[in-house]
Amino acid sequence: MKTRITELFGIKYPIVLSGMSWISVPKMVAAVSNAGGLGILATGPLDAGQTRACVREIKSLTDKPFGANATLLFPGAAENAKVLLDEQVPVINFALGKGDWLVKEAHQYGGKVAATVVNHRHAKRAQDYGTDAVIVTGHEAAAHGGDVTSLVLVPTIASAVSIPVIAAGGFADGRGLAAALALGAEGIAMGTRFMTTKESPLHDNFKRLSIEKDVYDTLYSTRFDGLGCRVLDTEPAQKAIRMGLNIPKLIEAFFNSRDVAKQMHLPFIKLFIGVLMMGWENAKQLAYMANAFKAIRVATEDGDLKQGVLPVGQITGLLKDIPTVADLMERMTREAEEVQRRLSGIMQA
């Protein structure tokens, strides 16, 4: 299968692993890259030293192209991004911030940069400062999808920019891959589908739930992590959204932010003062994220069904098995080719 994305990144299949915190770890990244796709390391929960160690671990596990992300809104993200540049990571994916400096420095060593966007205005701005591709995230996606569904958003942005589009949100099988290509995308990015594979570090409790749940069993709200975020519909998720950022949750955020600072090896006082100086709206956003980080971590790592909250896309209802990454990607490309043949027959009839 050959598209502008396979040529741009030097991969066999136009399929990308979304960078998911505590899921897109080195072994998972390498599994996707070794199977012919593009694995993307999630650096959100990492400090600079951990990011460097993870990049080097990936290099020891695969000689294929791989990527890493930097969510620029997060504390420590700029430092992590500088590590990615220093390590000359082949593909850098950024979100929630302006990445023009990343583009400039990555291009100096031949690296490629993809921006994650949810509207055509941000896509065009990313193209203007030289971004090589955009990952277009529709409303169906896990976590931070946009307000528009992929069926409408992908062709809208594909018509607005000349750089390759990678579609994210609503893709889990070969039918979705074929549909994305028909809409004008050059590839797809998947999180929820890859999350429920044998190589995924997601706890078995939530792999099982992801298969049991239907397409209707997700919640979308700004009251979980402060942004529009889609998560699996469970009692802890309902409670988190119901409470939002009330007084008890603000107190909880204070203690959770201490854990985040410790995990990322940041001085808590420096982090706390820095957050306060950013103004109330930014402080509130980071308080939301401190609570969300803990809920997501205990879901993915511990399988905690009482406190854990897992971001998933609506395609969770399409999941019926837990394949290996390689088997999944081969199956998807085979299904996409079958769709192409069927449509060719219909069009010629």
Condensed to tens digits (0 to 9), the pLDDT of residues 322-339 reads 999 999 999 999 999 999
Please check whether residue 117 is in contact with residue 138, taking contact to mean a CB–CB distance below 8 angstroms: no
Model pLDDT, residue 250: 62
In degrees and rounded to multiples of 5, residue 113 shows phi and psi of -130, 135
| C-alpha R_g of the chain | 19
144: pLDDT strictly greater than 60: yes
Model pLDDT, residue 1: 85
Model pLDDT, residue 205: 97
Closest CA to 193 of 162, 168, 166: 168
Please check whether residue 19 is in contact with residue 42, taking contact to mean a CB–CB distance below 8 angstroms: yes
Quick one: pLDDT band at residue 125, thresholds 50, 70, 90? very high
62: pLDDT strictly greater than 80: yes
Tell me: the pLDDT tens digits for 92-113?
999 888 889 999 999 999 999 9
Tell me: the pLDDT tens digits for 149-196?
999 999 999 999 999 999 999 999 999 999 999 999 999 999 999 999
Q: How many CA atoms lie within 13 A of 310 on its CB side?
A: 32
131: pLDDT strictly greater than 70: yes
> Yes or no: is domain 4-202+321-348 CATH 3.40.718.10?
no
Cα-based distances in Å from 38 to 82, 113, 191, 218: 21, 13, 12, 27
Assigned token pair, 228: 């529009």
Residue 320 CB: number of other CB atoms within 10 A? 10
Question: What percentage of the chain exceeds 90 in pLDDT?
Answer: 75
Strands (E) located in 84-175: 91-95, 112-117, 133-137, 165-168
Residue 347 CB: number of other CB atoms within 10 A? 7
261: pLDDT strictly greater than 70: no
269: pLDDT strictly greater than 60: no
Question: What percentage of the chain exceeds 70 in pLDDT?
Answer: 89
Average pLDDT for 125-135: 96
Tell me how far apart the alpha carbons of residues 139 and 34 are, in angstroms, rounded to a whole number: 29
Tell me: the pLDDT tens digits for 196-219?
999 999 999 999 999 999 999 999
Higher pLDDT residue, 83 or 258? 83
User: Which letter, b or e, does each residue of 261-282 get, where b requires 16 or more Cβ atoms within 10 Å of its Cβ?
Assistant: bebbebeeeebbeebeeeeeee
Global pTM exceeds 0.85? yes
Q: Mean pLDDT over all residues of the chain?
A: 91
276: pLDDT strictly greater than 80: no
Question: Domain coordinates of the chain in residue numbers?
Answer: 4-202+321-348, 214-300
Model pLDDT, residue 262: 60
Closest CA to 157 of 172, 174, 135: 135
Tell me how far apart the alpha carbons of residues 286 and 266 are, in angstroms, rounded to a whole number: 15
Model pLDDT, residue 73: 72
Range name among 56-70, 241-255, 264-278, 311-325 with the lowest pLDDT average = 264-278
Assigned token pair, 77: 């993200």
Which residues touch 46 (CB under 8 Å, ≥6 apart)?
54, 76, 80, 264
Place of tokens 């694995």: 39
Quick one: pLDDT band at residue 246, thresholds 50, 70, 90? confident
CA 312 to chain centre: 10
Name the amino acid, one letter, at 101: W
255: pLDDT strictly greater than 70: no
Quick one: pLDDT band at residue 245, thresholds 50, 70, 90? confident
